[in-house]
Protein backbone atom coordinates (compact mmCIF):
# COMPACT_ATOMS: atom_id res chain seq x y z
CA UNK A 1 0.00 0.00 0.00
CA UNK A 2 2.88 2.34 0.79
CA UNK A 3 4.38 1.82 -2.66
CA UNK A 4 1.07 2.73 -4.27
CA UNK A 5 0.82 5.94 -2.23
CA UNK A 6 4.42 6.84 -3.11
CA UNK A 7 3.69 6.22 -6.78
CA UNK A 8 0.51 8.30 -6.74
CA UNK A 9 2.26 11.13 -4.88
CA UNK A 10 5.02 11.12 -7.48
CA UNK A 11 2.48 11.05 -10.28
CA UNK A 12 0.60 14.06 -8.91
CA UNK A 13 3.81 15.98 -8.21
CA UNK A 14 5.08 15.25 -11.72
CA UNK A 15 1.80 16.36 -13.26
CA UNK A 16 1.88 19.63 -11.32
CA UNK A 17 5.49 20.35 -12.22
CA UNK A 18 4.88 19.45 -15.86
CA UNK A 19 1.82 21.65 -16.01
CA UNK A 20 3.66 24.58 -14.45
CA UNK A 21 6.55 24.23 -16.89
CA UNK A 22 4.12 23.98 -19.79
CA UNK A 23 2.42 27.19 -18.71
CA UNK A 24 5.71 29.01 -18.25
CA UNK A 25 6.99 27.97 -21.67
CA UNK A 26 3.70 28.61 -23.43
CA UNK A 27 3.97 30.81 -26.53
CA UNK A 28 0.69 32.55 -25.66
CA UNK A 29 0.44 35.67 -23.51
CA UNK A 30 -0.70 35.10 -19.91
CA UNK A 31 -4.17 36.50 -20.46
CA UNK A 32 -4.83 34.13 -23.37
CA UNK A 33 -3.50 31.21 -21.35
CA UNK A 34 -5.76 32.11 -18.42
CA UNK A 35 -8.74 32.47 -20.72
CA UNK A 36 -8.05 29.07 -22.27
CA UNK A 37 -7.63 27.46 -18.86
CA UNK A 38 -10.88 28.97 -17.60
CA UNK A 39 -12.73 27.71 -20.65
CA UNK A 40 -11.30 24.21 -20.25
CA UNK A 41 -12.06 24.09 -16.51
CA UNK A 42 -15.62 25.24 -17.17
CA UNK A 43 -15.97 22.56 -19.84
CA UNK A 44 -14.67 19.87 -17.47
CA UNK A 45 -17.01 21.00 -14.69
CA UNK A 46 -20.02 20.92 -17.01
CA UNK A 47 -19.02 17.47 -18.27
CA UNK A 48 -18.75 16.28 -14.67
CA UNK A 49 -22.17 17.68 -13.84
CA UNK A 50 -23.70 15.91 -16.86
CA UNK A 51 -22.05 12.63 -15.91
CA UNK A 52 -23.19 12.99 -12.29
CA UNK A 53 -26.76 13.74 -13.36
CA UNK A 54 -26.78 10.75 -15.68
CA UNK A 55 -25.40 8.44 -13.00
CA UNK A 56 -27.89 9.80 -10.46
CA UNK A 57 -30.76 9.03 -12.83
CA UNK A 58 -29.43 5.49 -13.32
CA UNK A 59 -29.12 4.94 -9.57
CA UNK A 60 -32.58 6.33 -8.91
CA UNK A 61 -34.02 3.98 -11.52
CA UNK A 62 -32.20 1.05 -9.90
CA UNK A 63 -33.49 2.10 -6.49
CA UNK A 64 -37.06 2.33 -7.75
CA UNK A 65 -36.71 -1.11 -9.32
CA UNK A 66 -35.33 -2.53 -6.06
CA UNK A 67 -38.19 -0.99 -4.09
CA UNK A 68 -40.73 -2.55 -6.47
CA UNK A 69 -39.04 -5.90 -6.14
CA UNK A 70 -38.95 -5.65 -2.36
CA UNK A 71 -42.58 -4.53 -2.14
CA UNK A 72 -43.61 -7.50 -4.27
CA UNK A 73 -41.88 -9.98 -1.97
DSSP states of the chain = -HHHHHHHHHHHHHHHHHHHHHHHT-SS-HHHHHHHHHHHHHHHHHHHHHHHHHHHHHHHHHHHHHHHHHHH-
User: Residue 23's Cα: distance from chain center in Å?
Assistant: 20
Quote the domain boundaries for residue 49.
Answer: 2-72
pTM of the model: 0.54
The tens-digit pLDDT sequence of the chain (73 residues) is 888 889 989 999 999 999 888 877 778 787 888 888 899 999 999 999 999 999 999 999 999 999 988 887 6
Q: Check residue 4 and give its pLDDT.
A: 87
Give the total number of structural domains in the chain: 1
pLDDT of residue 30: 76
pLDDT computed for residue 73 by the predictor: 63
Amino acid sequence: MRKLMDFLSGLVAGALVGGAIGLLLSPQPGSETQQGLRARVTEIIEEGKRAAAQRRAELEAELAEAKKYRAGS
